[in-house]
């Protein structure tokens, strides 16, 4: 084969690959539209589907805005197709929790029962050569604006404060939730930390020949040291409020009207854990900077607004109340633990992806590692921030609140 023939064949293969990609994308769109239509039409009494539009932006589940037509007119719904690894028991935990908090204050999307009275629907589909079950649920389509994501998070000061207040409201509404036999299988944060060293090492080994793997492997010694420090606070957490946590609390999971957070969604990572962990993860998600002159830093002035607003709102409720002095003393290290929790998502999501965008996940990884270093270098500043929040209606003991750790 001479150079001209090789060039012609390469061009032919390139065009065929492009056509195959376009065909794949068109078939995926048609398949998903038909699948969502069938779920809503066949399993629910919500009218007949007239349009399906995928809502882009999520990394875990697929989301769709669906319009139906019934005798009383058209209605809009939010339909979720859970990821292939979703567990039915965990979905039932999520739905039971949202129903519990909405029974007291409607801050979350209502999940609708199907014709059998259940809040989820199952379909089988072919994936990677195997037929596997997939789960679906239909929710209220919340009002308000989708203004942010977990990385596009440059809130105004008023929005930082509103985000802190909404988290406190959620904790107050959820603190006495009884999940019955439902649970998220992922262990609470302190137990989960003990698994991360092995997880990170094995993922780095599998990604060894990529930029992502090289970056992760080179930083593992520093990560292991932060894991060691994080584990050391566990004895100090005994008796602190142990309640339902959102576990994915970022400004992209809130609906906004003006500068006010009006609703909270995406409870599929929720579980029982220390309330302190949820606040710490909120700081990581809300206050991390992904751009601009403070790129790679935690915006401590914004974290101060978030925490103080949380404390002021939490003080309005008997349970679990504002964070105690004991909780606040552990907050700086729990922020580091929460960042490791998000780092775990960066790493495992890359590891599980069928065809990951290496540069995209490398962007996530390098930022989370930068946040880790910033948090370690600013533990004293985080401690001062936490101490300043101790003046806001603080309980005297970590044992006061909605339940205790086992």
In a domain, 404, yes or no: no
239/385 same-domain check:
yes
- Residue 398 pLDDT level (bands cut at 50, 70, 90): very low
Q: What pLDDT digit, counting tens, does each position of 27-67 carry?
A: 888 999 999 999 999 999 999 999 999 998 777 899 999 99
DSSP code of residue 237:
G
Whole-angstrom Cα distance, residue 344 to residue 209? Answer: 20
Q: Which of 185, 292, 182, 280 is nearest to 240 (CA)?
A: 280
333/270 same-domain check:
yes
Q: What pLDDT digit, counting tens, does each position of 104-128 carry?
A: 999 999 999 999 999 999 999 998 8
What are φ and ψ of residue 393, in 5° steps?
50, 45
- Residue 393 pLDDT level (bands cut at 50, 70, 90): low
Instruction: State the pLDDT at residue 291.
Output: 96
134/242 same-domain check:
no
CATH number at 307 reads: 3.90.1200.10
Residue 342 has pLDDT above 90, yes or no: yes
Whole-angstrom Cα distance, residue 380 to residue 358? Answer: 35
Residue 355 has pLDDT above 90, yes or no: no
More confident residue, 8 or 249: 249
The alpha carbon torsion through 318, 323, 324, 330 (nearest 10 deg) reads 160
For the chain, percent of residues with pLDDT exceeding 70: 97
Instruction: State the pLDDT at residue 2.
Output: 86
266/118 same-domain check:
no
In a domain, 403, yes or no: no
Q: What is the DSSP string of 149-197?
A: -SS-----HHHHHHHHHHHHHHHHHHTT---TT---SSPPHHHHHHHHH
Say how many domains are in the chain. Answer: 2
Structure tokens at 107: 């801050």
Handedness of CA 94, 278, 316, 319 (dihedral sign): positive
What pTM did the predictor assign?
A: 0.90
Whole-angstrom Cα distance, residue 208 to residue 198? Answer: 15
Which residue range(s) make up the domain with 319? 157-391
The side-by-side arrangement of strands in the sheet containing 48-55 is 48-55, 62-70, 73-81, 130-140, 121-127
Mean pLDDT of 285-302: 97
For the chain, percent of residues with pLDDT exceeding 90: 88
Q: Which helix (DSSP H) or strand (DSSP E) does residue 342 occupy?
A: helix 325-352
Residue 231 has pLDDT above 90, yes or no: yes
256/302 same-domain check:
yes
More confident residue, 72 or 391: 72
209/331 same-domain check:
yes
In a domain, 244, yes or no: yes
Whole-angstrom Cα distance, residue 94 to residue 184? Answer: 8
170/302 same-domain check:
yes
Q: Among the residues of 207-274, which ranges form H helices?
A: 211-231
216/333 same-domain check:
yes
- Residue 21 pLDDT level (bands cut at 50, 70, 90): confident
């Amino acid at each position: 084969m001479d150079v001209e023939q090789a060039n012609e064949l390469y061009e032919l293969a390139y065009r065929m690959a492009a056509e195959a990609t376009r065909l794949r994308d068109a078939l995926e769109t048609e398949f998903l539209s038909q699948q969502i239509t069938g779920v809503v039409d066949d399993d629910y009494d919500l009218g007949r589907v007239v349009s399906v539009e995928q809502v882009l932006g999520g990394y875990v589940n697929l989301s769709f805005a669906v319009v139906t037509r019934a005798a009383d007119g058209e209605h809009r719904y939010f339909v979720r197709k859970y990821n292939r690894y979703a567990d039915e028991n965990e979905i039932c935990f999520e739905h039971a929790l949202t129903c519990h908090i909405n029974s007291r204050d409607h801050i979350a999307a209502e999940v609708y029962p199907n014709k059998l009275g259940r809040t989820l629907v199952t379909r089988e589909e072919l994936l990677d050569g195997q037929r596997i079950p997939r789960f679906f649920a239909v929710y209220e389509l919340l009002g308000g604006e989708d203004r942010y994501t977990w990385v596009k998070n440059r809130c105004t000061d008023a929005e930082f404060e509103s985000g802190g207040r909404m988290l406190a409201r959620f904790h107050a509404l959820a603190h006495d939730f009884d999940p019955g036999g439902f649970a998220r299988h992922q262990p609470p944060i302190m137990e989960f930390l003990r698994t991360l060293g092995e997880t990170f090492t094995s993922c780095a080994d599998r990604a060894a020949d990529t930029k992502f793997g090289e970056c992760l492997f080179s930083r593992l010694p520093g990560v292991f040291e932060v894991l060691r420090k994080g584990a050391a606070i566990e004895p100090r957490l005994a008796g602190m409020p142990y309640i339902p946590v959102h576990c994915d609390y970022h400004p992209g999971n809130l609906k906004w009207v003006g500068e006010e957070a009006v609703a909270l969604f995406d409870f599929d990572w929720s579980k029982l854990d220390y309330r302190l962990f949820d606040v710490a993860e909120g700081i990581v998600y809300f206050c991390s900077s992904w751009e601009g002159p403070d790129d790679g830093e935690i915006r401590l002035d914004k974290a101060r607004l978030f925490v103080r607003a949380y404390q002021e709102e939490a003080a309005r409720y008997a349970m679990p109340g504002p964070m105690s002095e004991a909780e606040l003393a552990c907050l700086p290290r729990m922020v580091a633990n929460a960042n490791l929790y998000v780092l775990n998502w960066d790493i495992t999501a890359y590891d599980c992806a069928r065809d990951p965008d290496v540069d995209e996940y490398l962007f996530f990884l390098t930022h989370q590692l930068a946040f880790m270093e910033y948090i370690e270098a600013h533990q004293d500043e985080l401690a001062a921030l936490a101490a300043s929040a101790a003046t806001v209606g603080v309980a005297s003991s970590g044992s006061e609140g909605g339940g205790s750790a086992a």
